[in-house]
Structures are given as structure tokens and as C-alpha cells.
Amino acid sequence: MAQTLLTILGICVTVAIPTSMIALALEAGSLNFNVLFRNRSMLVRYFLVMFILIPAFALLCYYIDSDHRVIWIAIIVISLTPASPGMLKNVTKLGGDFRMGITWMLTAIFISLIMLPINLFLIGRIMNVDIDLGIDDVVFKLFFMFILPMIIGFLIFRYVPKYSSPLKKIFELVSKIANLVLVICLLIIAIPMIINKDIIDILLILLFLIISLVISHFLESPEKKYGPILSYSVILRLPAPAFVLASINGKTKVYAPEILTFLILGFILMLVYSKIFYGKEKSHL
């Protein structure tokens, strides 16, 4: 049963992510690189929070709390990954800038290709452990599941625009079906894992997420007009690189519960966050 679910999960991920990337590119049409790179303070803050400050905070927790190091290692790894594509729809629903969001997401993927191996190497040295970086596998997945589909989407929009709208609807439908099956499989796998976890473990992960969200919320406040892009990027991370690294190092069973708990608690936390900070604003959109 478990192996069947994992097989279905793998197929759904392979289908859902590229199709959603093509649909997002067709919807955006183009990127806001000029605006993003002109706003250097925003770019620097986003970079520092996502790829330096939050991973450093997770590393600090690893040293402070020696009794729960499995949790902190999992959080360190997932804190090095770029934002999940799912954050774009959430940011847009709250009145955020969709094109700025997708531009930052793609920028974060490129940054992660550089920062992920550097950070893992440094963390491995600091923690005095050998980590099989598996960079080839991570880069392969990021390129063929995210970057290449987005390039295809932008090329379709530019060179055959009359097909953009119907193709977008097709890719969105396929993505939604695959994502639905994906979520069901994840819940079937994750719920028993989370139920069997110690309540202290769950509270520690939740506390880390809350502190990370508070940091992100206040540091992105100067760019409030673009929506909560940084907050959603920090909390709704892309799990694929974390699972790839865990698998390469033979630690999937060890770290999967923590990674899945991080994802589910992050999703719930952002639902609460959107209601608290954007509930009234959303009603006026």
C-alpha cells in the first residue's frame, strides 16, 4: 500500500509541477525582472531572509536544542529550498502582484542552484558531518520540472499567442487533477506520521514557522504593495530538493515526517495569517 502511494505520488509530482509552471508562464506572459532588480533593497532583503537568515536561525536551533536534532536538520535542509509555486495563487488572491511573485519565484530557483550547495557544504563543515549533496539530481529536477516548463510557457505566449488561452486552460486542468491526487496521497501518508509524532516535536516546528513568519512579515513591509511574497516564500517552501537530498543520503524515512509536518503546518499557518492580516482587505478586492 505504502509503495503504491509513493509511486502515485511520484507520478503526480512529475505531472503537476511542470503543467502548473507552463500554466503560470502563460498567465504571466512576461516577467518583472527590471522592476525587481531596480529595487535592490527589496531583492537583497528577500535574498538575505530566505537563504541566509532563516537557515542560520534553523542552525542556531540545532545547536541550542540538542535533544531534537533530527527535526532541526530537516528544517535546515527545507529552509535552503526556493518557494513553492503554490504561493503565487495565494499571494494573488490577497491582491498581490502576480508578475512580481512569479519573477521572484524564478529568481529564487536560480539563486538556490548556487546557494543550496554552498550552504550545505558550509553547514556540513560546521556540523562536522558528511553530506552527499546530490547536486546533479537537484539541478536536474529544478531545471526540467520548473525552469524548462516556464520557458516553454513564455515561448508559447510570445510566438503563438492565439493558443495561449486554450493551452492555459488545458494545463491548469491537468495540474489541478494531479495536485488533487497528490494532496490526497500526501495526507494518507502524512497524517499517520504526524499522529505518531511527539507533541513537542510538532510544537517546535510550529514555533519555528511562526518566528520565521514574523521575521518575514516585518522585513517585507516596505514592499507591501506587491503583497506578502516574502512571507509566503519563506513558509511555503518547495519540498522536492529536501526529499531528493534525504533520499540520496538514505534518510528518507528519518526526515520525511519532519518535512511533511513542516509543509502541512506551514499551509495551516498561512491560512490563519491571511485571515488575520488580509481578511478585511480581501473583502474589498
Identify the H or E element spanning 126: helix 98-127
pLDDT in tens, 237-255: 887 767 766 666 666 677 7
What is the pLDDT at residue 53? 94
Which amino acid appears at position 221 of this protein?
S
pTM of the complete model: 0.81
The whole-number pLDDT of residue 282 equals 47
What distance in Å separates the CA atoms of residue 40 and residue 124, rounded to the nearest whole number?
A: 31
Neighbours of 53 (CB within 10 A): 18
pLDDT value at residue 245: 66
DSSP 8-state symbol, 51 = I
For 36-45, which contacts have Cβ atoms below 8 Å and span 24 or more sequence positions?
Answer: 36/100, 36/103, 36/104, 36/107, 39/223, 41/222, 42/220, 42/222, 42/223, 43/107, 45/219, 45/220, 45/230
Predicted pLDDT of residue 90: 85
In degrees, rounded to 5, the angle at the alpha carbon of residue 136 between the alpha carbons of residues 44 and 143 is: 60
pLDDT recorded at residue 112: 82
3-state secondary structure at position 218:
helix
pLDDT digits (tens, 9 = 90+) for 51-110: 999 999 998 998 899 888 889 988 988 888 888 887 888 888 888 888 888 888 888 888
Cα dihedral 200, 276, 108, 92 sign: positive
pLDDT at 283: 36
Q: In order of start, what are the domains of the chain with their CATH numbers?
A: 2-278 (1.20.1530.20)
What is the DSSP code (8-state) at residue 132? Answer: -
Weakly modelled stretches of the chain, pLDDT under 50: 281-285
